[in-house]
Amino acid sequence: MSAMLILGAGPAGAAVALGLRRLGYDVTLVSDWRRFAALEGVSVRVLDALRGAGLTHALEGATLPSQRQVSWNAQQHAQNIEFLLDRPRFDRGLREDLRLAGVELIEGRVMAVHSEASGHRVSVEGRAAITADFLVESRGRQAPAGGKGLRGPETVSLLNRWQGAAGKNASAVESLEDGWAWMARQANGQCYWQLTVDVASAELPGKAQLLDYCRARRQASALAQALFGGVPERDLQLHARSSTAILGPQVCGDNWIRVGDAAMAVDPLSGNGIFQSLSSALQAPAVINTLIRAPERAALAQQFHQQRVEQLFLRFARIGRDFYADEQRWPEQPFWRARQRWPDAEPAHPQPDFSSLRIQRAPVLRDGLVEEAEVVVTADQPLGVWHLQGVELAPLLRRLQIQPAQQALADLTVEQGKRVRSWLLGQGYRP
């Protein structure tokens, strides 16, 4: 019996595996390889998060900087650098990081999972079944749905890949009447173009005509023509996948946890998929450790994971909605109409209001375990902030309610004082 079994070696499964190894657990991971070669764009904070998680081989050589051109709402700009992440290389790097961390890696396709309170039995194609005490579900969007969760408007992305002309790394995104397209070229001439449309209203042709359809759409785009240079497309391939935003109904039990896209998958527009999958994965080892070593706090640990996943999902959903709302040429087109209203009308970042700050007991992470502590709840951080630069905020807020700021902050170091003052001002505090 393996104590810890992880299904899926994407960034989420790999980050949990490394975190569990650091806490001293033996870890087995079963994964298949992705069946298509994608390129993904990530921000610098994803690179930092990967480095922080110890996934250094995954990072090496898999990321190339590119100045992203944006054409949205008939306006053009190129203000942001994105890093082009070559998924096959990235995924190979993840396995190398896992191997070096002492994780037992099994290559194979998981066919079925049978779970009970006493443990799990996992059938893997062409092998004997594997049993485990604790299961981490990180098979991404391919993980079986754990029930009816929250779903955004049904969305599909068509990815085209071909060999074009070598040149500089380049990437661009453009809004279209019925969706949007992301495109990129690697220096070696590998080209990618990805069209994202609404499942219900897109008038896509049958499978046999899809490649021609995509090619015609590219030819109609000045941005795509400029980026790819109109050279012949060799070895053209197509892969369609769902990109609907999905939040799982339950993401943690007594002996299992879901992380990454298996817990919540965001709309690819925000380019935050890998970031959010790492966010849920990085907190998981402490949640699992608590379920095993401090089972009396199981409910608290589950609450911690569930609430954070839900909050992250809604935040990304609202940020995505605001991106869609920036495109104002086609408000009545089904693609835009549905996405400019989902998930709700709540602001992505509520206005700060110092007088509304509250102190509350909530689950926090300390020394690899979930425990309860006093946190400060703000409009933007409904789950609370525990400390900042080593300063606990709840006692500080109490002092500020009865003392002038100078006195309440007197014991802080210069660095702590700077961070805390800037946080307080951001919360609407006016001394």
Judged by the rule CB under 6 A, the positions of this chain that interact with ligand FAD are 8-13, 30-34, 40-42, 109-110, 138-140, 142, 157, 241, 243, 260-262, 268, 271-274, 277
Q: Which tokens in the block code for residue 208?
A: 């046999």
CB 20, CB 288: distance < 8 Å: yes
Which residue's CB is nearer to ligand FAD, number 162 or number 192? Answer: 192
Which residue's CB is nearer to ligand FAD, number 237 or number 403? Answer: 237
Q: CA-based angle 245:198:317, to the nearest 5?
A: 30
CB of 8 to ligand FAD, least distance (A): 3
CB of 100 to ligand FAD, least distance (A): 18
Q: Which tokens in the block code for residue 233?
A: 């497309």
Q: Which helix (H) or strand (E) holds 264?
A: strand 264-265
CB of 201 to ligand FAD, least distance (A): 18
Provide the pairing of β-strand 246-247 with 150-151.
antiparallel
Residue for token pair 């071909």: 162
CB of 350 to ligand FAD, least distance (A): 26
> Is residue 81 helix, strand or coil?
strand
Which residue's CB is nearer to ligand FAD, number 11 or number 164? Answer: 11
CB 270, CB 320: distance < 8 Å: yes
Strand partners, 376: 359, 385
Q: Which helix (H) or strand (E) holds 336?
A: helix 334-339
**Cα(334)–Cα(253) distance, integer angstroms:** 38
Which residue's CB is nearer to ligand FAD, number 164 or number 260? Answer: 260
Which residue's CB is nearer to ligand FAD, number 243 or number 255? Answer: 243
CB of 129 to ligand FAD, least distance (A): 14
Q: Is the dihedral of CA 408, 413, 419, 421 positive or negative?
A: positive
Which residue's CB is nearer to ligand FAD, number 16 or number 376? Answer: 16
CB of 42 to ligand FAD, least distance (A): 5
